[in-house]
Amino acid sequence: MGIAVKKFFNWVLVLAGCVGAFYGIGLIVPRSQTLGSRTSLQAKPDEIYKVVSDPSTWSQWHPDVSSIQERPDRDRHKIWLVTDKEARTFELEVTAEEEPTAWQVTYTVDGTRTVLRFDFSWHGSGGRARVAKTSDTRDTWQRAQRFLLPTKEASAIALLNALAEYLGEPGSAEEN
């Protein structure tokens, strides 16, 4: 009986150590992380802006969006109800519109608030698109989970490559 209790106690200590290490990682990982990407396109900045700033088209090109519906404005901000490929629903709020140079939205999925900002500029006879994706995760456990496990959301590079393909161009986005 004494050996079984010792084994059980040892397993409890090992499990507690693993949980503590996982939680410790969450304490170390920064609460806010920004990833960016950029690409050059043949399309002009105003053409790129029109596609990005019209969320009703997102289900045609955005890798995460399954369907999207416009909702009534809130505090003069446009609101869209998004259903992603994982069948999660969330609100997308347009927080900045500077036609044709910038467009920004915020949304919260699984406790992580994300700010997605698109910037457009001229590049030769075409345009350059840049996207910055800032994720803010307050919960320590979720930060560790996002750090150790792959997220289900498309990266900034994947967003720009999908946008380029929708515009009929090859995807050649790179980290910014």
pLDDT tens readout for residues 22-64: 777 777 888 898 999 999 999 999 999 999 999 999 999 999 9
Residue at 105 is within a domain: yes
Highest mean pLDDT: which of 23-37, 109-123, 144-158? 109-123
The number of residues making up the chain comes to 176
DSSP string for 69-107: EEEEEETTEEEEEEEETTS-EEEEEEEEEETTTEEEEEE
Residue at 20 is within a domain: no
DSSP string for 132-144: EEEEEE--HHHHH
Question: Which of 88, 87, 105 shows the shortest CA–CA distance to 96?
Answer: 105
> Rounded CA gap, 155 and 6, in Å?
47
Q: What is the CATH number of the domain that holds 73?
A: 3.30.530.20
Residue at 15 is within a domain: no
According to the model, what pLDDT value does residue 93 have?
A: 97
> In terms of residue numbers, what domain contains 122?
31-175
Residue at 13 is within a domain: no
CA 176-105-110 angle, 5° bins: 90
Residue at 123 is within a domain: yes
Structural domain count of the chain? 1
